[in-house]
Amino acid sequence: MTAPIDPALQRALATVIDPEIRRPLVELDMIPAATLGAGVARIRLELTVAACPAADRIRADVHQAAASVPGVERVELEVGVMAPATRQALVERLRGSRPQQFGPDTLTRIIAVASGKGGVGKSSVTANLAVALAARGLAVGLIDADVHGYSIPALLGTEARPTRVGDMMMPPEAHGVRLVSIGMFVEGNRSVSWRGPMLHRTLNQFVTDVWWGDLDVLLIDMPPGTGDVAISLGQLLPHAEVLVVTTPQRAAAEVAERAAEVARQTGQRVLGVVENMAGLPQPDGSLLELFGAGGGDEAARRLEVPLLARIPLSVALRSGGDAGEPVVAAEPGDPAAAAIIALAESLRGTRPITGRSLPISPA
């Protein structure tokens, strides 16, 4: 059935983008009818799912676009939900436009952030790096694959969950970063005791069933150590690069090196080392080396990769994490924030990052 769409309305509505799918509504068959007569624009809007969290925004955007058309004095908007068959056709069309989101020909740079042991600040670094890259205009996705310590949603101050459209998931966005986390799929604050196959399935879902849109960078917060997730990721995304986070302690550097070696065995390239908790700046300008010194350099030397950043201890980074307000956004002048921002700049510079456009065309 083809319902009439007024050409002037069609042009105006073509500028309205679905905030989750990031495609114009008209391309997604979300506007089956839009007529104009006697100054009244009558528009039928069909949301992909009833509980669409972006419904209010979409409705407002449609209203505004229609009202901007010359001759329109009033907008009548009828809002409904897509029929299951239409939704299924849309999901298949989206999938068809990108059979393999992160296949070998992807232009998305994939960076897994790993550490040898827990508590070195890997998640804090990953969350802040993601926000810093997004603030520089890149389209950034973030997978929280840290099964036992899934902390990314809290660090980014969000409790939102993905929206399901058919068998696809639209990731929520926080601080400009699209994210999914294992924590979004467990009730309450339970720990996850999944082992190999279950983990592999979940990671695979994050890579294939989440509609990421065009990403410049996909960051993955890995669990500490050298476990199942590292091996799964090596299989699912063999062309991912790995960033290794360590503290300045020599012993920490040794375990970090082991994590990097596992990544290498699965064919991934180690990009470099980030030394976190690298001293506490003192009021007199000196640095109190609370966790020793030299671990980052040592790990970088042994792995034959560069030391990409040295991030000092910072109360602002810690409290920003606790409050869900990443320090790179809340206090960019803080020395730890500045070090992470410089890291984001350097990663941006090491390879041209370009988004690709794979427009889907209406069937």
- Residue listed under structure tokens 């036992």: 148
What character string, x for contact with ligand ATP (CB under 6 A) and - otherwise, covers 207-246? Answer: -----------------x----------------------
Beta strands 40-47; 33-37: pairing state: antiparallel
Compute CA distances 235 → 199, 239, 337, whole Å: 13, 9, 33
Interface with ligand ATP, residue 115, by CB under 6 A: yes
Listed residue (136, 126, 106, 262) closest to 181, CA to CA: 126
The answer to whether 120 is annotated as binding is: yes
**Can residue 250 be called a binding residue for ligand ATP (CB under 6 A)?**
no
Shortest spacing between CB 161 and ligand ATP, in angstroms: 21
* H or E segment and range at residue 256: helix 250-265
Site membership for ligand ATP, residue 112 (CB under 6 A) = no
Return d(Cα 2, Cα 13) in angstroms, integer.
17
Q: Is residue 295 near ligand ATP by the rule CB under 6 A?
A: no
Distance in angstroms (rounded) separating the CA atoms of residues 220 and 234: 12
Q: Is 119 in the site for ligand ATP (CB under 6 A)?
A: yes
Write down the least CB distance from residue 233 to ligand ATP, Å. Answer: 15
Which of 43, 75, 94, 120 is in the footprint of ligand ATP by CB under 6 A? 120
184, 262, 276, 331: which one contacts ligand ATP (CB under 6 A)? 276
Site size for ligand ATP (CB under 6 A): 21
Least Å distance, CB 198 to ligand ATP, is: 19
**Is position 68 annotated in a ligand binding site?**
no
Min separation Cβ 275 and ligand ATP, Å: 10
Q: Segment 49-108, which members bind ligand ATP (CB under 6 A)?
A: none
Q: Is 121 in the site for ligand ATP (CB under 6 A)?
A: yes
CA-closest candidate to residue 288, choices 307, 314, 309, 308 = 314
CA torsion through residues 233, 187, 141, 253, sign? negative
Among 318, 324, 329, 330, binds ligand ATP (CB under 6 A): 318
CA distance 291 to 102: 38
Position of tokens 């920003």?
320
Rounded distance, CA 201 to CA 355, Å? 27
Instruction: Check whether 116 is labelled as a binding-site residue.
Output: yes
Contact 236, 208 (CB under 8 A): no
From 130-138, 227-235, 264-272, 308-316, span contacting ligand ATP (CB under 6 A): 308-316
DSSP code per residue over 293-306: S-HHHHHHHHHT--
Quick check: helix, strand or coil at residue 362?
A: coil
Minimum distance of ligand ATP from residue 122's CB (angstroms): 4
| Residue 274 sits in the site that holds ligand ATP (CB under 6 A) | no
Query: Is 117 labelled a binding residue?
Result: yes
In which element (H, E) is residue 313 found?
none
Per the annotation, does 295 bind a ligand? Answer: no
- Residue 325 found at the interface with ligand ATP (CB under 6 A): no
DSSP sequence for 68-106 = TSTT--EEEEEEEE--HHHHHHHHHHHHHH-SSTTSTT-
Strand partners, 245: 115, 274
Rule CB under 6 A: say whether 311 interacts with ligand ATP.
yes
- Least Å distance, CB 337 to ligand ATP, is 10
Which x/- pattern, by CB under 6 A, does the window 146-185 give for ligand ATP?
x--x-x----------------------------------
The one-character DSSP state at 185 is G
Binding region: 116-123
Residues making up the binding site for ATP: 116-123
Contacts with ligand ATP, residue ranges (CB under 6 A): 115, 118-124, 146, 149, 151, 224, 276-277, 311, 313-314, 317-318, 321, 336
